[in-house]
Structure formats: structure tokens, C-alpha cells
Amino acid sequence: MVIRPAGVNEGIVFVRGDLPGNNRIKADVHNVRDTTLATTLGLNGVTVSTVEHLMSAFSGMGVDNAVVEVDAPEVPIMDGSARPFVNLLKDVGTRVQSKGKKLLVIKEKIAVSERGGTAMLLPSPEFRITYKIEFNHPAIGVQSYQMKFSDISYEEEICEARTFGFLRDVEYLQAKGLALGGSLRNAVVLDEHRIINKDGLRFPDEFVKHKILDAIGDLSLLGIPIIGHFVACKSGHRLNNLLLKELLMRKECWTLVSRFSKEGMLNELHSLRVPSFQILDSVPASSPVM
């Protein structure tokens, strides 16, 4: 995978370099083709899967425009978290472009539910996340976490949380020729009773933090940062995607804001608090990230 700079308002675009012809896919909620175990984007018969960790890193580090070149149908899993991507973005640097961000401000509650899970967006002066998971497993049980979003909180609290799965599911998938790269090096794996990784967890609540990592990546497919409170219980890729689709249909529940004052507050709504992104003070991003 290679990440290259992109122009203003180009967004995040994936390019399948291993395929000829029309091989570009915009990272957009309308291009989501599958949400089984991961988020898969597709356009014109071309797909790229497991985009959520990289998209989460882009969102967490405030990157709006980039071209991602891959030579396979899946983004590299790395260690199962977003930390390797965050480190690469910080190392290469980013630059401020010539046009200000647009923000989507939630005015009224928007919610979806399915199979015992719920996901909603509530009005808030800042982007906040409250997430709860519940698994009938002695190593997980019920976990919840709350955070105010910024690049600092994302890097310190969220980006190192690894994906997790159950040994029975890994064996089933690999028997079908799927998840062949899955191992204890890039996931937290559980059997019926315990975590089988020798090094254990990176944090006691790594499971719920990884769900937040995924959600940040999924929500970034809106293409516009959200100012609101994302509240989820037993949600996942599918429900996150359904929430964005419901959001787009409920135009009376949100407004777009695009102008900023010098203090970083919104001219239209001075009570809002917009996340700052410290890596934007770094050198121009003229080199690709390998």
C-alpha cells in the first residue's frame, strides 16, 4: 500500500493498482458494498475491503484528502489496530490546504436499531463518542467507554486497540479460504474461556476501544466531520453504515457549517468546539507514505 497526497475536496480515494482500467473507488458511504466482519467499498465491479482501520487513522489525524494505492483486494491488516497508519502519517507529515473544512452539525436525534444493537447521533457542541459492548464471554462481558474526539485523545486512547475474534470463527473462515492472514500477530483471539495471545491485552478495555476505532472509520465515510454525540450499544459495521444512510435521509436533523473565525470557532455557531489537529503544523506532505 502507498498513500499519496490528493487535491482539495478529492476526499479519500482507493486505487486498485493490480487491476487495469476503471480501478478508483471513492471512500463514500454510498460505495459500501459489504459490512460482514469488515467494511468493503466497491465501484464498477472493483472492491477493496477492510478499509475501516486506515479510514479511522485518517479521521483521527485530521486527513481529508489522500490517494491510497493497493495491489490487492484488501488493505494490509498490520497489527490489527490503526497505530501503524498513525505513525506513518505523523512521520511523513501533512499540510493545510487552501479550503476550510465543512462540518455536519447534528440538530436532532437520529437513531437506528437492529438485532439488539443501537446506534444514534445526538446534538452536542463537540464530537463525542459513548460506546457499550456486551459479549457472553468471561474475558469480555460488558464494557463501555466515553471520549471527546481529538487527534490527541484518538492517538492516546484508541488507535492501538486491536481487532478481536473468536477461535471458532477464525477456523471456520480459514476453512473457506478467508482470513488467511489472520494470526495472533494481528488480532486478539479468544477461545471459549480466555484470551490465547501470550502477551494479553494492551488495555483492560481494548475490546470496546477497538469498536470505537472501527466506528470512527465507518463514520468518516460520510466525507464530512460530524459535530454531535455518537452513542452506540452492540453496534458494528452494518449498523454504523445504516446510521449514516438514515442521517442523509433526515436532512431536517442536521446543518452544514463551513466558515471559521481565527479562534477556530464557527462563525455561525460560536458554542461549538471543533477538534484541533496538531500534526497539521508539520512539514508539507510531498512524499508518499509506504
Residues annotated as catalytic are: 237
Let me know how long the chain is.
Answer: 290
Which residues is 110 bridged to in the sheet? Answer: 121
Q: Please list the alpha-helical segments (H only) found in 66-221.
A: 83-92, 151-153, 167-175, 206-219
Q: How far apart are CA 13 and CA 28, in angstroms?
A: 9
Q: Which residues lie below 8 Å from residue 66, measured CB to CB, with a gap of 6+?
A: 3, 4, 5, 6, 12, 13, 58
Q: What are the phi and psi torsion angles at 92 (to 5°)?
A: -80, -25
Tell me how many degrees the CA angle 170-116-248 measures, rounded to the nearest 5.
95
Q: With left for phi above 0 and alpha for psi between -120 and 50, is residue 184 left, alpha or beta?
A: alpha
Tell me how many degrees the CA angle 7-24-223 measures, rounded to the nearest 5.
55
Q: How many helices (H) and strands (E) does the chain have?
A: 6, 17
